[in-house]
Amino acid sequence: MNRLLTTTLTFGVLSFVLDANADNELDALLSEEVITTASRTPESSRTAPGISTSITAEQLRIYGLRTVAEAIDFIAIGVSTAGPNDFGGEAELGSRGVMLTGDSGNHFLLMIDGHAINEVSRGTARFDRGAGIPLEVVDHIEVTVGPGSVLYGNNAMLGVVNVILKRGGEVDGGYLLAGASSMRSYRVGAAVGQDFKMFGEEGQLLLAAEHYERRGPEFSVGLQNAPETAGATTRTSRDNSQPGIWGGTLHDGNYAQVPAIVLAMDLGNFQLYGQAKHADFGNPMGPYLFDEEGSHQLDKSMWFDLRHRLVLPHGVDLISRVYVDAFSRRHVTMRDSFICAPDVGDVCEYEILNVSRWAGLELRTSIDWFEDESWLTSFGVDERVRYVGSRTDRLQESTGDRYTASLATFSRTDVAFGAYVQQLWNATDDLAFNVSARVDEGERYDPVVSPRAAVSLGVWEGGVAKIMYAKAFRAPGRLATDADVEERLPPDDLRPEIVQSGEITFEQAHAAHRALFGVFGSQWTDMTELHVLTRAERIARYGAGVDDYVPYEIDQLRNVGTIRSYGFNLGYRGSALDRQLSTSFSLTYAHSEEVRADGNRKLTVAPSLSGNARVAYFVADDWPTVGLAASYQGSRLANGAHSRDFVPIPEADEQLSLKATLSGWMGPMSYRVSADYAMTDHGPYTIGAVERGFPESPSAELNPVQQFIAFAEVSYEF
């Protein structure tokens, strides 16, 4: 890591020196980042109430980034991702030393052009391939770190990620693309975008579709002695070739299929957005049959968002929005028949289906009182109706027939309401205030108030200081509080999670250069954790012989108490040689711990130290652009380190991921060739049939990481 920082700092100093004679005002203008997510109004990232990163379409192309999660890892400041399977399991997002394992992304709010993607049953959002977003039609991605509930309500605890699509006129034609990789994956896609005129109104249309498919990579994982089930040897593979032995080389079960389509249309004062996707991922490293192709997770979603904007005299702006969403998740696990139907003696299919649907109406108003953006008031209300349902089935694999009637059937409908008000005051060119608050109400929890206050002050030429405070919440989903889940105790009393955060940042601008330093402190209370019962807790609840008839782990959602985190952010970006050379890096350190009655302990999965760095050089139009990027995460405890009785305590080594990309044009064809390399061959998640240590298998197996991958793709643009 020291070598990486030394290299990037050297490039930064070099670009600063080479840029000494540049047109400072022009470079400063071109390098300014405009953010809309933090306040729902365009503003400089230097004065926005929060640390924000704008990831441009050019950066996505130059650095070979293919998912929102990759863009966050290699460019955003203060955020990192992880997952039990880099190419299958959901990417989990952490911010400044805090990552909640198993949360399916529900502590970050994901939006596409301001439409919240997180579904309502659990708050799930996918930032990996399962997001179904063709990055070729993305204009930029805004990543705002810190509590964001003041404007967006639930789920925006760790931050907000807003993916902004291009307009049809910006595409101005379309493209056809094809790509492949060394991990046996391919991607094909197409898009059209153009201006049009209808009913006497000017309009723009963007329609993009892609299909991603993968069959691999063929990971090799260590062998494990699976625990016996009631005195019988557990089946760990379909053919039962190695009874009781889990592991080996993956051949069939590690796969993905993700077709997706997105729509963005403008017509006069109306805007229409939509997306449909079908994301199917294999689950080859779960605790039951190893490398089983039938074990998978299928997510299907569709949503539409219709908006109308009315600009009135005297600085009044009215926005109305209606939206409708549908989401389903089918989680299928192939298991030993002993678990599903002991009298059958064959492999069986265990299926959990979760369905959620919601629709809502949002009204927003902003008033520019003096029509000069010095005193801007905005407020809004959002009400939605939500449906959540689920069921569990045990099926005979050969016929698809149910062994019994559906289990754990669940169906609920409720209403949620939110309202906010925000006041911006640009007192002078060097002094600005942002004060806002939101209240959210649902039938399962008392009203929650989320305030925010920020002050930005120009302290010297090119220098800005910001002081910020914010509070956010996340209410537990219906499936967390009400639904029956196998091998999980019902929660006793789940309350909304709360986070309060304060930070001070300094940003210095000079020509095309930006440097940032900030310190922060945060406290989370009533945080929900999927707690795995310790051996002592199991015995206390079920008796001393519990391990003889309940070999699997038992868990329960709990408000575990308090998390405290404090640390610093450091960042730099700049360009030189008439913007041919660009360099940037960021570094975040956080000391985070969970405060518990039985003693404080370190958080799992989230690294204390993380960062990224980039260098790109553009030679000329006929030459390829060279992009080099790196992402770093320090060593961290694996999930289950505190409660699964593993010896030794599982811990993942530090990880340095590198990307090298060549991209350019040959007439109407664009190309991109890249290679990825990861220094460490494992990640921070335990996998396999051994879910907790026992005498025959006391240690944990950590998820494998594919160390080298090569990519290539071409696109024809018309």
Report yes or no: 210 and 189 within 8 Å, Cβ to Cβ: yes
Question: What token pair was written down for 681?
Answer: 């061959």
| Confidence label for 7 from pLDDT (cuts 50, 70 and 90) | very low
Q: Which two tokens stand for residue 269?
A: 């004062």
Give the C-alpha distances (Å, rounded to integers) separating 418 from 383, 448, 460.
6, 9, 40
Chain segment 379-414, per-residue pLDDT in tens: 999 999 999 999 998 888 777 788 878 887 889 999
Record the tokens describing residue 80, joined without a space: 């990192």
> What pLDDT band is residue 523 in, cutting at 50, 70 and 90?
very high
Q: How far apart are CA 184 and CA 80, in angstroms?
A: 26
CA distance 28 to 328: 47
Mean pLDDT of 639-666: 92
Q: Is the pLDDT of residue 2 over 60?
A: no
Total-model pTM: 0.91
Mean pLDDT is lowest, of 23-32, 169-178, 281-290, 576-585, for 23-32
Is pLDDT at 14 greater than 50 in this prediction?
no
Examine the pLDDT at 569 and tell me if it is beyond 60. yes
Is it the case that residue 319 has pLDDT exceeding 70? Answer: yes
pLDDT at 213: 96
Q: What is the pLDDT of residue 543?
A: 78
Residues 179, 670: contact at Cβ < 8 Å? no
User: Among the listed ranges 208-212, 419-423, 552-556, which one has the minimum average pLDDT value?
Assistant: 552-556
Q: What percent of the chain has pLDDT over 70?
A: 92
If one counts the domains in the chain, the total is 1
Give the residue numbers spanning the domain of 505: 2-717
Alpha carbon distance 686, 698 (integer Å): 13
Nearest CA to 255 out of 285, 275, 277 is that of 285
Give the pLDDT of residue 232: 53
Strands 185-198 and 108-112: unpaired
Calculate the average pLDDT of the chain: 88
The reported pLDDT for the residue numbered 550 is: 65
Whether the bond between 243 and the residue before it is cis, its omega within 30 degrees of 0, is no
What band does 552 get if pLDDT is binned at 50, 70 and 90?
Answer: low
Q: Which residue has the tokens 């406290």?
A: 523
pLDDT at 20: 45
Q: Is the pLDDT of residue 334 over 50?
A: yes
Euclidean distance between CA atoms 21 and 578, whole angstroms: 10
CATH label of the domain that carries residue 553: 2.40.170.20
What mean pLDDT is predicted for residues 369-380? 93
The predicted structure's pLDDT at residue 344: 60
The DSSP secondary-structure symbol of 130 reads: G
DSSP symbol at 121 = T
pLDDT category at 286 given cuts 50, 70, 90 is confident
- Nearest alpha carbon to residue 472 among 455, 454, 451: 451
Q: How far apart are CA 52 and CA 36, in angstroms?
A: 10
pLDDT(429) > 70:
yes
What pLDDT is stored for residue 149 in this prediction?
A: 85
pLDDT at 8: 47
- Residue 320 has φ and ψ, to the nearest 5°, of -120, 145
Tell me, what's the pLDDT at 331? 93
| Residue 338 neighbours by CB distance under 10 Å | 15
Residues 132-156: pLDDT tens digits?
A: 999 999 999 999 999 988 999 988 9
Exposed / middle / buried, residue 683 (Cβ in 10 Å: 0-12, 13-18, 19+): buried
pLDDT at 325 over 80: yes
Rounded to 5°, the CA angle 152-157-162 comes to: 55
Q: Work out the percent of the chain whose per-residue pLDDT is above 90.
A: 58
> Which residues contact residue 57 at a Cβ distance below 8 angstroms, ignoring those fewer than 6 apart?
135, 138, 139, 140, 166
Distance of CA 533 to the CA centre of its chain: 28
**What is the sign of the dihedral through the CA atoms of 634, 635, 641 and 642?**
negative
CA dist 397 and 348 (Å) reads 5
Write the secondary structure of 599-633 as one string of H (helix), E (strand) and C (coil): CCEECECCCCEEEEEEEEECCCCCCCEEEEEEEEE
Is pLDDT larger for residue 188 or for residue 442? 188
Take residue 489 and report the two structure tokens written for it: 């105790």
Nearest alpha-carbon partner for 31 in 579, 523, 689: 579
CA 250 to chain centre: 26
Distance CA(606)–CA(608), nearest Å, equals 7
- Do residues 573 and 579 lie in contact, with contact meaning Cβ atoms separated by under 8 Å? no
pLDDT digits (tens, 9 = 90+) for 671-680: 999 999 999 9
